[in-house]
Structure 1
């Protein structure tokens, strides 16, 4: 129970990697805040899994550990700030912020619309920036250390044709993390990235149902399989714990070796 007594907010935690992270942090003893934008059923499923795992899950606006989730669009700065504020108001504090929410848009570079570019950047980078800022302001006010873990991607390093805005957002996240590691270090606040490769989540349903594309991808992964949400969650749990107190400004790739073996088909 490395996180007993800690409170964690995980953005975009109604499914996939975010859901896996919430469950793992609860298993480690943390109280968790579940955030969703448009998938309340998934948030309730996450809550049920937390309760089944023996963790306690308190939601913003809920006096008891049941039935409430926090709806917030991470592309809207006002909603981002309100999400953090409501979490703090309910618990009295936050110790851990996991910036997990993210989106991608597929299109050749010359066809990317301004609306799609803005949507990706607003959630993947702008939302992360201001969620982190609001969290850090809370830690400064309460004079406490804290942990920030960003869910980045192998594409903070690896080119991904037809996803240029997504890659740019993750590259920006890498530099944000490095810069804040220096700026926040004296405050006792650490910040790190976890960069997943190909993870078996709902966003990859189309890929999973295409044997040819799946086979080509698996050929690029030295470990020969897709990752699972718990593969990412275990690294997040480590970084959120005191075991990682001397680690900041780093990226941890969870990709089965994909980054160093990738060939575009």
Structure 2
């Protein structure tokens, strides 16, 4: 029996994954949870057709029930609606993964106040609203539930041209800890954690030189996969004694400085 089935005392736990329509990290998380016996609620905004195709594939491959929810997360009414549609379809909600996010390189001088607000609305506020709506359901479930937010390893070492993106993702760490405290006060079986991916799913057009540089920037000497992130999400859903944790899944990149001085190196 899948450990998730044991944790949630259910033959087919229910998972809602935002931002899972397009074939990126969210989709891989949905596949990982379906493979381990979950019923799946995919979410998409502009990738609804791709999400419907993915739902069909999950049903055929893993014999699981799957639905598609749709909506723009900057609309405050969408997050609770996604939860409502999931519970209406399946009767419960055991796992919420806040995977949806936007990012685009923009020089800081070109970042507008409206763009800054949009980053926070989608990357931060929507995760908060989805989490709160999910917790309202999980509070009444004996087995509670697991909420996993996706942050970003590079909030500790931001890079250029993402001055709107990183503040919105940096808030995820604090929000994760705060919601863990809030929701556990309602039901001690509700857990809120965070996964902070490193370099995964590089675009095909990334030059080989840059790819090699990224490989050299991790302790593992390689680039991660969406599967590494998905496995970490499942682990946090399975482990009932982990709460309020922000887990880097980055091959050690957040602690590694390959170009830095080594201990004992002569600097004279």
Q: Please, what TM-score do these two structures have when normalized by structure 2?
A: 0.86
Taking the TM superposition and a 5 Å limit, the aligned residue runs for 1:97-136 are 97-136=96-135
* 1:72 equivalent in alignment to 2:71: yes
Match of 1:2 in 2: 3
Contact 1:8–1:94 (CA under 8 A) maintained in structure 2 = yes
Q: 1:32-73, CA deviations, whole angstroms, 9 ceiling, x for partnerless residues?
A: 1011111123213422442354240331xxxxxxxxx21121
Structure 2: runs of 5+ lacking an equivalent: 6-11, 260-268
* 1:239 equivalent in alignment to 2:232: no
Contact 1:156–1:174 (CA under 8 A) maintained in structure 2 = no
Match of 2:50 in 1: 42
Q: 1:186-218, CA deviations, whole angstroms, 9 ceiling, x for partnerless residues?
A: 3121110001001115xx3442xx122222222
The number of equivalent residue pairs is: 249
Q: 1:150-170, CA deviations, whole angstroms, 9 ceiling, x for partnerless residues?
A: 111102322222112211111
Contact 2:216–2:258 (CA under 8 A) maintained in structure 1 = no
Q: CA RMSD in A?
A: 1.9
Match of 1:200 in 2: 201
- Farther off after superposition, 1-10 or 92-101: 1-10
- Farther off after superposition, 181-190 or 163-172: 181-190
- Farther off after superposition, 139-148 or 149-158: 139-148
Structure 2 distance, partners of 1:220, 1:103, is 24
Taking the TM superposition and a 5 Å limit, the aligned residue runs for 1:181-200 are 181-186=180-185, 187-188=187-188, 189-200=190-201
Q: Which has the larger radius of gyration?
A: 2
Higher helix share: 1
Q: Please, what TM-score do these two structures have when normalized by structure 1?
A: 0.87
